[in-house]
Amino acid sequence: MRSSHSKRWLTALVAIPLLILLIWQGGRFFFALVVGLTAALGLLEYYSLVLPRETVATKAAGLVLGFTLVVSFLSDVQVILAVLILVFFGSAVISLTRFDPKTPMLEMLYKQVLGLVYIPFLLGHLILIRGWHKGMAWMFFLMAVIIAGDTAAYYVGKTFGRHKLSPGISPGKTVEGAIGGLAGNLVLGVLFKMGFPEFGWGYWIILIIVMGVLGQVGDLFESTLKRSAQLKDSGSILPGHGGVLDRIDALLFAAPTLYYFKTYLL
Protein backbone atom coordinates (compact mmCIF):
# COMPACT_ATOMS: atom_id res chain seq x y z
CA MET A 1 0.00 0.00 0.00
CA ARG A 2 2.81 2.40 0.96
CA SER A 3 4.74 1.45 -2.21
CA SER A 4 1.66 2.20 -4.36
CA HIS A 5 1.22 5.53 -2.57
CA SER A 6 4.87 6.46 -3.23
CA LYS A 7 4.52 5.53 -6.90
CA ARG A 8 1.41 7.72 -7.10
CA TRP A 9 3.29 10.78 -5.83
CA LEU A 10 6.43 10.13 -7.89
CA THR A 11 4.34 9.83 -11.05
CA ALA A 12 2.51 13.06 -10.20
CA LEU A 13 5.78 14.90 -9.52
CA VAL A 14 7.00 13.95 -12.99
CA ALA A 15 3.71 14.22 -14.90
CA ILE A 16 2.44 17.58 -13.60
CA PRO A 17 5.53 19.66 -14.59
CA LEU A 18 5.52 17.87 -17.96
CA LEU A 19 1.84 18.70 -18.38
CA ILE A 20 2.51 22.37 -17.59
CA LEU A 21 5.35 22.42 -20.13
CA LEU A 22 3.18 20.86 -22.84
CA ILE A 23 0.44 23.45 -22.28
CA TRP A 24 2.86 26.36 -22.07
CA GLN A 25 5.17 25.58 -24.98
CA GLY A 26 4.31 25.27 -28.64
CA GLY A 27 1.31 26.48 -30.61
CA ARG A 28 -2.12 25.02 -31.25
CA PHE A 29 -0.83 22.42 -33.73
CA PHE A 30 1.66 21.01 -31.23
CA PHE A 31 -0.99 21.01 -28.52
CA ALA A 32 -3.45 19.26 -30.87
CA LEU A 33 -0.79 16.61 -31.51
CA VAL A 34 -0.41 16.02 -27.76
CA VAL A 35 -4.20 15.79 -27.36
CA GLY A 36 -4.38 13.42 -30.33
CA LEU A 37 -1.72 11.12 -28.87
CA THR A 38 -3.48 11.15 -25.50
CA ALA A 39 -6.77 10.27 -27.21
CA ALA A 40 -5.06 7.41 -29.06
CA LEU A 41 -3.71 5.94 -25.81
CA GLY A 42 -7.14 6.35 -24.22
CA LEU A 43 -8.81 4.61 -27.16
CA LEU A 44 -6.42 1.67 -26.93
CA GLU A 45 -7.37 1.24 -23.28
CA TYR A 46 -11.05 1.63 -24.16
CA TYR A 47 -10.78 -1.11 -26.78
CA SER A 48 -9.09 -3.45 -24.27
CA LEU A 49 -11.97 -2.85 -21.85
CA VAL A 50 -14.97 -2.81 -24.19
CA LEU A 51 -13.90 -4.48 -27.45
CA PRO A 52 -11.09 -6.86 -26.41
CA ARG A 53 -11.71 -9.30 -29.27
CA GLU A 54 -11.50 -6.75 -32.07
CA THR A 55 -8.76 -7.23 -34.67
CA VAL A 56 -5.65 -5.05 -34.87
CA ALA A 57 -6.89 -3.66 -38.20
CA THR A 58 -10.21 -2.63 -36.66
CA LYS A 59 -8.50 -0.91 -33.74
CA ALA A 60 -6.07 0.82 -36.11
CA ALA A 61 -8.97 2.14 -38.17
CA GLY A 62 -10.59 3.43 -34.98
CA LEU A 63 -7.37 5.21 -34.00
CA VAL A 64 -7.20 6.91 -37.41
CA LEU A 65 -10.81 8.06 -37.10
CA GLY A 66 -10.19 9.25 -33.55
CA PHE A 67 -7.05 11.21 -34.44
CA THR A 68 -8.88 12.80 -37.40
CA LEU A 69 -11.67 13.84 -35.06
CA VAL A 70 -9.22 15.49 -32.65
CA VAL A 71 -7.48 17.39 -35.49
CA SER A 72 -10.86 18.67 -36.71
CA PHE A 73 -11.04 20.83 -33.57
CA LEU A 74 -8.35 23.04 -35.12
CA SER A 75 -11.04 24.17 -37.57
CA ASP A 76 -14.61 25.44 -37.20
CA VAL A 77 -17.85 23.83 -36.04
CA GLN A 78 -18.91 22.80 -39.55
CA VAL A 79 -15.72 20.80 -40.04
CA ILE A 80 -16.10 19.13 -36.62
CA LEU A 81 -19.67 18.10 -37.46
CA ALA A 82 -18.56 16.82 -40.88
CA VAL A 83 -15.85 14.69 -39.28
CA LEU A 84 -18.37 13.37 -36.73
CA ILE A 85 -20.49 12.16 -39.65
CA LEU A 86 -17.37 10.65 -41.21
CA VAL A 87 -16.66 8.88 -37.93
CA PHE A 88 -20.13 7.35 -37.96
CA PHE A 89 -19.79 6.24 -41.60
CA GLY A 90 -16.35 4.80 -40.88
CA SER A 91 -17.64 2.94 -37.83
CA ALA A 92 -20.52 1.57 -39.91
CA VAL A 93 -18.10 0.28 -42.56
CA ILE A 94 -15.91 -1.30 -39.87
CA SER A 95 -18.99 -3.04 -38.44
CA LEU A 96 -19.92 -4.35 -41.91
CA THR A 97 -16.49 -5.85 -42.41
CA ARG A 98 -16.76 -7.57 -39.02
CA PHE A 99 -20.32 -8.82 -39.53
CA ASP A 100 -21.14 -12.29 -38.32
CA PRO A 101 -24.66 -13.75 -37.85
CA LYS A 102 -23.73 -14.58 -34.26
CA THR A 103 -22.37 -11.10 -33.54
CA PRO A 104 -24.74 -8.41 -32.17
CA MET A 105 -24.18 -5.83 -34.92
CA LEU A 106 -25.87 -2.88 -33.24
CA GLU A 107 -23.96 -3.46 -30.01
CA MET A 108 -20.65 -3.48 -31.88
CA LEU A 109 -21.49 -0.28 -33.76
CA TYR A 110 -22.68 1.37 -30.56
CA LYS A 111 -19.45 0.55 -28.73
CA GLN A 112 -17.29 1.81 -31.60
CA VAL A 113 -19.13 5.11 -31.96
CA LEU A 114 -19.34 5.54 -28.18
CA GLY A 115 -15.57 5.19 -27.85
CA LEU A 116 -14.87 7.79 -30.54
CA VAL A 117 -17.33 10.30 -29.06
CA TYR A 118 -16.34 9.55 -25.46
CA ILE A 119 -12.59 10.06 -25.90
CA PRO A 120 -11.45 11.98 -29.04
CA PHE A 121 -14.55 14.18 -29.35
CA LEU A 122 -14.78 15.17 -25.68
CA LEU A 123 -10.99 15.55 -25.36
CA GLY A 124 -10.91 17.71 -28.50
CA HIS A 125 -12.60 20.52 -26.56
CA LEU A 126 -9.23 21.13 -24.92
CA ILE A 127 -8.00 22.45 -28.27
CA LEU A 128 -10.92 24.90 -28.43
CA ILE A 129 -10.19 26.08 -24.88
CA ARG A 130 -6.47 26.45 -25.63
CA GLY A 131 -7.41 28.69 -28.58
CA TRP A 132 -9.36 31.19 -26.42
CA HIS A 133 -8.10 34.59 -25.36
CA LYS A 134 -6.09 33.75 -22.21
CA GLY A 135 -6.39 30.16 -23.35
CA MET A 136 -3.40 28.93 -21.35
CA ALA A 137 -4.82 30.47 -18.18
CA TRP A 138 -8.12 28.69 -18.83
CA MET A 139 -6.25 25.42 -19.38
CA PHE A 140 -4.38 25.77 -16.09
CA PHE A 141 -7.66 26.63 -14.36
CA LEU A 142 -9.31 23.50 -15.76
CA MET A 143 -6.40 21.22 -14.92
CA ALA A 144 -5.93 22.64 -11.42
CA VAL A 145 -9.61 22.32 -10.53
CA ILE A 146 -9.82 18.72 -11.75
CA ILE A 147 -6.53 17.60 -10.18
CA ALA A 148 -7.45 19.27 -6.86
CA GLY A 149 -10.84 17.57 -6.90
CA ASP A 150 -9.37 14.14 -7.68
CA THR A 151 -6.71 14.49 -4.98
CA ALA A 152 -9.10 15.77 -2.32
CA ALA A 153 -11.66 13.07 -3.11
CA TYR A 154 -8.98 10.37 -2.78
CA TYR A 155 -7.60 11.50 0.57
CA VAL A 156 -10.87 12.59 2.15
CA GLY A 157 -12.45 9.30 1.07
CA LYS A 158 -9.54 7.27 2.46
CA THR A 159 -9.57 9.16 5.77
CA PHE A 160 -13.24 9.88 6.45
CA GLY A 161 -15.17 7.72 3.98
CA ARG A 162 -17.99 5.80 5.61
CA HIS A 163 -20.96 5.94 3.23
CA LYS A 164 -20.64 4.30 -0.18
CA LEU A 165 -21.38 6.61 -3.11
CA SER A 166 -22.15 3.93 -5.71
CA PRO A 167 -21.08 0.48 -4.47
CA GLY A 168 -22.40 -1.28 -7.56
CA ILE A 169 -20.09 0.74 -9.81
CA SER A 170 -17.10 1.67 -7.66
CA PRO A 171 -17.02 0.20 -4.13
CA GLY A 172 -14.10 2.42 -3.08
CA LYS A 173 -15.84 5.75 -3.71
CA THR A 174 -17.69 7.38 -0.81
CA VAL A 175 -20.08 10.26 -0.26
CA GLU A 176 -17.49 11.89 2.00
CA GLY A 177 -14.88 11.60 -0.73
CA ALA A 178 -17.24 13.16 -3.28
CA ILE A 179 -17.92 16.10 -0.96
CA GLY A 180 -14.19 16.47 -0.31
CA GLY A 181 -13.59 16.47 -4.06
CA LEU A 182 -16.07 19.30 -4.59
CA ALA A 183 -14.38 21.23 -1.77
CA GLY A 184 -11.04 20.76 -3.55
CA ASN A 185 -12.60 21.99 -6.80
CA LEU A 186 -13.93 25.11 -5.09
CA VAL A 187 -10.70 26.00 -3.27
CA LEU A 188 -8.57 25.93 -6.43
CA GLY A 189 -11.30 27.47 -8.57
CA VAL A 190 -11.70 30.41 -6.19
CA LEU A 191 -7.93 30.99 -6.17
CA PHE A 192 -7.98 31.28 -9.97
CA LYS A 193 -10.79 33.86 -9.90
CA MET A 194 -8.33 36.74 -9.45
CA GLY A 195 -7.03 36.02 -12.94
CA PHE A 196 -10.52 36.45 -14.43
CA PRO A 197 -11.91 39.65 -12.84
CA GLU A 198 -14.30 40.20 -15.75
CA PHE A 199 -16.60 37.40 -14.58
CA GLY A 200 -19.05 37.61 -11.67
CA TRP A 201 -18.69 35.44 -8.58
CA GLY A 202 -22.11 33.80 -8.88
CA TYR A 203 -21.55 32.27 -12.30
CA TRP A 204 -17.94 31.44 -11.39
CA ILE A 205 -18.95 29.36 -8.36
CA ILE A 206 -21.69 27.63 -10.36
CA LEU A 207 -19.14 26.82 -13.10
CA ILE A 208 -16.75 25.23 -10.59
CA ILE A 209 -19.50 23.15 -8.97
CA VAL A 210 -20.88 21.94 -12.32
CA MET A 211 -17.37 21.06 -13.50
CA GLY A 212 -16.73 19.19 -10.25
CA VAL A 213 -20.00 17.26 -10.31
CA LEU A 214 -19.68 16.26 -13.97
CA GLY A 215 -16.02 15.40 -13.42
CA GLN A 216 -17.13 12.90 -10.78
CA VAL A 217 -19.79 11.59 -13.17
CA GLY A 218 -17.01 11.08 -15.72
CA ASP A 219 -15.02 9.17 -13.11
CA LEU A 220 -17.98 6.92 -12.35
CA PHE A 221 -18.68 6.38 -16.05
CA GLU A 222 -15.16 5.12 -16.62
CA SER A 223 -15.58 2.91 -13.55
CA THR A 224 -18.57 1.23 -15.24
CA LEU A 225 -16.33 0.30 -18.17
CA LYS A 226 -13.74 -1.21 -15.83
CA ARG A 227 -16.44 -2.92 -13.76
CA SER A 228 -17.90 -4.50 -16.90
CA ALA A 229 -14.44 -5.81 -17.82
CA GLN A 230 -13.80 -6.83 -14.18
CA LEU A 231 -10.60 -4.77 -14.04
CA LYS A 232 -9.37 -2.35 -11.38
CA ASP A 233 -7.48 -0.02 -13.75
CA SER A 234 -7.81 0.80 -17.44
CA GLY A 235 -4.06 0.24 -17.90
CA SER A 236 -0.68 0.37 -16.20
CA ILE A 237 1.19 3.09 -18.08
CA LEU A 238 1.14 5.46 -15.06
CA PRO A 239 2.59 3.78 -11.95
CA GLY A 240 0.36 4.25 -8.93
CA HIS A 241 -2.42 5.79 -11.07
CA GLY A 242 -3.30 3.09 -13.60
CA GLY A 243 -3.93 3.95 -17.22
CA VAL A 244 -4.48 7.10 -19.24
CA LEU A 245 -8.27 6.79 -18.95
CA ASP A 246 -7.93 6.58 -15.17
CA ARG A 247 -6.31 10.04 -15.22
CA ILE A 248 -8.46 11.79 -17.83
CA ASP A 249 -11.89 10.35 -16.97
CA ALA A 250 -12.99 13.48 -15.05
CA LEU A 251 -11.33 15.78 -17.60
CA LEU A 252 -13.31 14.21 -20.45
CA PHE A 253 -16.54 15.46 -18.90
CA ALA A 254 -15.20 18.69 -17.39
CA ALA A 255 -13.57 20.11 -20.55
CA PRO A 256 -16.79 20.31 -22.64
CA THR A 257 -18.58 21.63 -19.55
CA LEU A 258 -16.12 24.52 -19.27
CA TYR A 259 -16.23 25.22 -23.01
CA TYR A 260 -20.01 25.44 -23.36
CA PHE A 261 -20.60 27.11 -19.99
CA LYS A 262 -18.10 29.84 -20.75
CA THR A 263 -19.22 30.19 -24.39
CA TYR A 264 -22.94 30.51 -23.68
CA LEU A 265 -23.31 31.59 -20.03
CA LEU A 266 -20.27 33.47 -18.75
Average pLDDT, the chain: 88
What is the four-CA torsion angle of 112, 113, 117, 119, rounded to 10 degrees?
0
- Per the CB < 8 A criterion, the answer to whether 170 and 234 are in contact is no
So what's the pLDDT on residue 128? 96
Residue 3 has pLDDT above 60, yes or no: no
- Does the pLDDT of residue 261 top 70, yes or no? yes
What element of type H or E holds 48?
Answer: helix 28-50
Question: In this model, does residue 1 exceed pLDDT 60?
Answer: no
The answer for residues whose C-beta is within 8 angstroms of residue 144's C-beta and 6 or more apart is 188, 189, 192
User: CA-CA distances (angstroms) from residue 247 to 93, 139, 183, 192, 233?
Assistant: 31, 16, 19, 22, 10
Q: How many domains does the chain have?
A: 1
Q: State mean pLDDT over 101-105.
A: 71
Q: What is the number of other CB atoms lying within 10 angstroms of the CB of residue 206?
A: 14
pLDDT digit string (tens) for 7-44? Answer: 666 666 766 777 777 777 778 888 999 999 999 999 99
> CB of 125 within 8 A of CB of 148?
no
User: Which domain does 83 fall in, by range?
Assistant: 2-264
pLDDT tens-digit map of 46-91: 999 998 888 888 899 999 999 999 999 999 899 999 999 999 999 8
Residue 6 — very low, low, confident or very high, per pLDDT cuts 50/70/90?
low
Helices (H) and strands (E) in the chain, counts: 10, 2
Give the pLDDT of residue 265.
86
Q: What is the mean pLDDT of residues 121-143?
A: 95
Confidence of residue 115 (pLDDT cuts 50, 70, 90): very high
